[in-house]
Structure 1
Amino acid sequence: MTEPAPVPQPYSKLALLHSPTERAAEAAQQLRQCADFVPLEHADAVIAVGGDGFMLDTLHAMLDGKHIMPVFGINLGTVGFLMNPHRKTKDLAARLAKAKPIVVSPLRMDAVTQDGDAHTFCAINEVSLLRETRQTAKIEILVNGKVRIPELAGDGVLLATPVGSTAYNLSANGPILPLDSAMLALTPISPFRPRRWPGAILPDSSRVTFRVREPAKRPVAAVADQREVRDVAEVHIEIAREKCMTLLFDRGHTLDERIVAEQFVT
């Protein structure tokens, strides 16, 4: 009888991370019984068990560090948009061998506060500017150094990646972007003026600048995913191409397919 061919192993050293929830901890313990894992610093890929929030935390930890490696997420959260389904089987090696890689390009936000302090953060989903008080925010918008909106009045504005286009951007009535579109969504948040401006779709080679008008009276915070800088004066955003990341997905359950599917949800 012919022995089955061994499953190819594209990643020989795996690290295992999990969220602090009980369900994720139990699933991680089951995985330890069917695979050998190494410390994160010795790994060439990561298994992340949890929800989308934990996945974002994992990716940001790598962005802040020196070693960016592929991540295969297993969903033990609520939505799991960035994750793969949890299966109580010992097929992890086979799943990784067949996984489809999806390259994700994060945004880099360079923010300067009213006091002149500079802050730099990356965002996988979006960078959003939000009013801090009851006063309407007034924001000038430039694209590649050219003023496109002299004054946007409203709750704020955001710039989203294709990955983030189905998150806050969609809730703000922004467009869903195909993963391979090489585009960014520039979306107003509850705009008052220009009232009918729907936002814009920009090439991901664009450099977008937001300048806060009347910052003392109308303070604005800038948020890169979960990281907030308050009382900003000016924010510059562009793709951080040196920080590109790889997410691994089961065939037939890829992120690009889910982005398409989101457009038909009723």
Structure 2
Amino acid sequence: MYTKKWKEVTIYSTLVLLSLLMAFPYLWMLMISVKPKDELYSGNILPSTFQFENYVRVFTESNMGQYLWNSIFVSAVIIIVQILSAIFAAYSFVAIKKKWVQFCFVLILATYMLPSAVTYIPSFILISNMNLLDTHLGYILSEAISIFAIFFLRQSFSKVPKEVVQAAKLDGAGHLRLIFTVYIPYTKSAIASLILITFIYSYNNYMWPSLLMKSEENMLVTIGMRRLFMTQAGYGMDFPFAMAASAISLLPMLLLLIIFNKRIIRSMSNLYVNK
């Protein structure tokens, strides 16, 4: 009993220490964002006075509001398109047992091993020929299919009890009814996890959007943040302002994590426990 108690104390102490180490950069960012500029290199973690007006300046002296809206809107549309396409593709790979269908699944997975940079040039040429450069629609179309989402949902769909599927078929359920009344309800936690993963990827994506978006009104938050750092934080001119903008840019992902926290944990537990 005594040994077990000390083992738990050691495990939880280690987890707390690791959590603090991971959280320290974000805490440092928050402290810098409310510091006066003349205290940046003072060596003190806490500022003498908290200057929260930096957060107001982010929206009054830059286009941060437009950047946030663009990223949230584009990411939301990409989530809808990717999840829907992944649901139908994953259902096909689970429900159809023919060899050529399984071969297509292996072929799709093989393309996942290609570096994303390899697809930039052909995708850019294709979007250019469609006259969709510097548009949100062009970027959304280029991100409409996710190999990871298809694989993730295919693995989750394969965990749905076959007895339930057979019972629904005996009740006269067709493919669409099976998808929306059996597979989706049984994999809600996995879909919630996928929503968060897709949002984080799309929201943080920089390289590919920077090749497509050139106009100020269409820029995503990652491109806008780089421009803001170059203009405001270069050579330490206004580092608290840039840190305040960075903290604001994290809010959408933090809110999604809070909303889907329990479902993500449940999804990951099922994925590994039932393996």
Specify the structure having the higher radius of gyration (Cα): 2
If each structure's strand is expressed as a fraction of its own residues, which one has the higher value? Answer: 1
Q: Which protein, 1 or 2, shows the higher relative CO under an 8 Å CA cutoff with sep ≥ 6? A: 2
Determine if the TM-score, normalized by the shorter chain, exceeds 0.5.
Answer: no
TM-score (ref. length: structure 2)? 0.21
Q: TM-score, normalised by structure 1?
A: 0.21
In terms of fraction of residues, the more helix-rich structure is 2
